[in-house]
């Protein structure tokens, strides 16, 4: 009997030790972050801890485990219920932890005062832009800059095809009626506080992101000395106590801000180099993003250059006394410039390759798709006394591209018997309006001038003129290299 009791006791001790060993080897998964019942973000982070040295999987994807036993991973959620399975394997033993996360798409809450607000309000559409005043011309009046869609502003007045809109207590602008939706009185435009910022390198550009409570109107300009981008955000007061700036920035030196008026918040982006290669500004949600492009290698070789032949199709442009059409001369010179630039190692993108009627938005879309580094648009001029030389001229919209227009003009007026018609700034030509790449409009000679007509329809003269446009571009790039 004693022997039997001893045997049973020995077996019991053995079984207990085996259970104890397995218990020590079994994973105990503890989720410390991510097992929330309901979330409002599609990107969901899960953090947990289990036995060190385990293999850990979240929804079938292996995640990193650290020496401490901690692990973590990020998953994407779909709207509604999302099953989460965490699996840990240690010493051949597998353990699972399961839970459910409900993803609720949160409706954007607009912080506005509703009720008896007595003034009408407009909301911007895509493609909207602001004008300085109510003046009109064939180019649409003096533009300030494009602005994002979804921005609410009080309507102050109506002038022809423009609305006068309130930007802040002491500032207003004009906006084309076609680019806004008019709403009924009752809802006041929002006032925002600024939040945290980040300034980061996103690959081919640096990006400044300023969080706001609502989309607010803005005016942006670039100053040359010092070289900086200044953005005034209206209807906004500073509450930015956290500005994160990373060390790998290529275009941006540093950022700063000023509260220039109680409801005007100024973002100041100081640039590293004397010459810059463009920027864009737009909203993502309620965060304002200013994207500043990195400089390409400042040589024609390897650059992607857009060349635009003005007019086309039924849009003949100017017609000379002898019946020559501007659109044909523009296209011929565009091909000549293309050949000259390709000879120097550039990739050239043409806005039109034949006698087609290409709209300005279509031309802009072509250049945007090809991510050009620089744009040159070729035209011929008209007007004035037909018995005298009209001359050549170059045009720019943004002050940062003045040097480009000037260096090309200097090469053109150095040609024999070519009159200087001028360097023209703040020109509202549609293709010059984008600030996202340097651009210049070249008005070669006057189709309406008899002495100019004789030259500008001559192939040999056209080739010489385009060769000098390429030389002017090379001069500009030389200045860029020397400035570094």
Pick the CATH number of 192-293 from 2.60.40.3500, 3.20.20.30, 3.40.605.10, 2.60.120.10: 2.60.40.3500
Backbone dihedral angles phi then psi of residue 344, each to the nearest 5 degrees:
-95, 5
Strands (DSSP E) contained in 287-360 are 287-293, 304-309, 347-350
Give the number of other Cβ atoms within 10 Å of residue 154's Cβ: 18
So what's the pLDDT on residue 23? 42
Could you say which residues of the chain have pLDDT below 50?
Answer: 2-5, 7-25, 109-114
What pLDDT is recorded for position 109? 42
Class of domain 26-103: mainly beta
Q: Which residues pair with 48 in a beta bridge?
A: 31, 71
Matching fold, domains 26-103 and 192-293:
yes
* Ranges of each domain in the chain: 26-103, 114-187, 192-293, 304-483
CATH code matching the domain that covers 304-483, chosen among 2.40.128.20, 3.40.30.10, 3.40.630.40, 3.30.1390.10: 3.40.630.40
C-beta contacts of 72-75 below 8 A and 24+ residues apart: 72/33, 72/45, 72/46, 72/47, 72/48, 73/45, 73/46, 74/43, 74/44, 74/45, 74/46, 75/44, 75/46
Cβ atoms of 349 and 341 within 8 Å: the answer is no
| pLDDT score, position 106 | 67
Residue with tokens 């969080």: 211
Distances (CA, A) of 421 to 298, 413, 446: 29, 9, 10
How far out from the chain centre does Cα 436 lie?
A: 7
Q: What is the pTM of this model?
A: 0.80
CATH superfamily for 114-187 is: SH3 Domains (2.30.30.40)
- Kindly report, residue by residue over 19-57, the tens digit of the pLDDT: 444 444 456 999 999 998 898 888 899 999 999 999 999
Q: How far is CA 370 from CA 146, 276, 303, 352, in A?
A: 21, 19, 11, 14
Specify whether the CB–CB gap between 131 and 138 falls below 8 A. Answer: no
Tokens 């869609």 locate to 149
Q: How far apart are CA 195 and CA 411, in angstroms?
A: 49
Q: What is the pLDDT of residues 295-349, one digit of tens each?
A: 999 999 999 999 999 999 999 999 999 999 999 999 999 999 999 999 999 999 9
């Amino acid at each position: 009997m004693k022997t039997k009791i001893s045997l049973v006791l020995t077996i019991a001790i053995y079984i207990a030790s085996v259970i104890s060993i397995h218990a020590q080897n079994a994973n105990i998964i503890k989720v410390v972050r991510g097992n929330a019942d309901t979330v409002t973000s599609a990107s969901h982070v899960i953090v947990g801890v289990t036995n060190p040295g385990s293999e850990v999987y979240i929804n079938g994807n292996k995640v990193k485990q650290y020496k401490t036993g901690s692990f973590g991973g990020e998953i994407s959620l779909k709207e509604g219920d999302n099953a989460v399975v965490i699996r840990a394997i240690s010493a051949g033993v597998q353990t699972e932890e399961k839970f459910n996360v409900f993803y609720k798409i949160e409706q954007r809450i607009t912080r506005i005062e509703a009720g008896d607000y007595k003034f009408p309000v407009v909301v911007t559409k895509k493609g909207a832009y602001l004008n300085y005043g109510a003046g009109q011309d064939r180019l649409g009046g003096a533009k300030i800059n494009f602005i994002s869609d979804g921005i609410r502003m009080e309507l102050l007045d109506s002038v022809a095809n423009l609305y006068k809109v309130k930007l802040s207590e002491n500032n207003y602008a004009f906006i084309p009626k076609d680019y806004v939706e008019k709403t009924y009185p009752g809802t006041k435009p929002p006032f925002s506080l600024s939040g945290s910022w980040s300034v980061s390198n996103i690959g081919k550009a640096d990006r400044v992101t300023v969080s706001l409570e609502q989309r607010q109107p803005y005016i942006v300009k670039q100053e040359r000395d010092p070289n900086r981008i200044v953005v005034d955000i209206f209807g906004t007061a500073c509450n930015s106590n956290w500005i994160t700036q990373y060390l790998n920035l290529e275009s941006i030196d540093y950022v700063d801000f000023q509260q220039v008026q109680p409801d005007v918040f100024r973002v100041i982006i100081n640039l590293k180099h004397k010459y810059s290669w463009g920027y864009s500004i737009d909203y993502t949600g309620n965060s304002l993003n200013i994207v500043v492009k990195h400089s390409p290698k400042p040589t024609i070789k390897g650059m992607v250059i857009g060349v635009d032949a003005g007019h086309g199709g039924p849009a003949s442009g100017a017609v000379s006394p002898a019946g020559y059409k501007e659109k044909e001369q523009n296209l011929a010179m565009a091909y000549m410039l293309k050949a000259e630039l390709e000879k120097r190692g550039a990739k050239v993108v043409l806005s039109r390759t034949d006698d087609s009627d290409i709209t300005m938005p279509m031309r802009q879309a072509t250049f945007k798709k090809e991510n050009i580094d620089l744009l040159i648009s070729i035209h011929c001029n008209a007007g004035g006394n037909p018995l005298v030389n009209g001359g050549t001229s170059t045009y720019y919209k943004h002050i940062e591209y003045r040097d480009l227009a000037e260096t090309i003009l200097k090469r053109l007026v150095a040609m024999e018997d070519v009159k200087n018609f001028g360097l023209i700034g703040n020109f509202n030509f549609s293709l010059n309006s984008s600030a996202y790449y340097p651009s210049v409009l070249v008005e070669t000679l006057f189709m309406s001038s008899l002495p100019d007509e004789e030259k500008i329809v001559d192939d040999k003269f056209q080739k010489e003129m385009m060769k000098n446009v390429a030389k002017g571009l090379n001069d500009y790039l030389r200045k860029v290299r020397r400035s570094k």
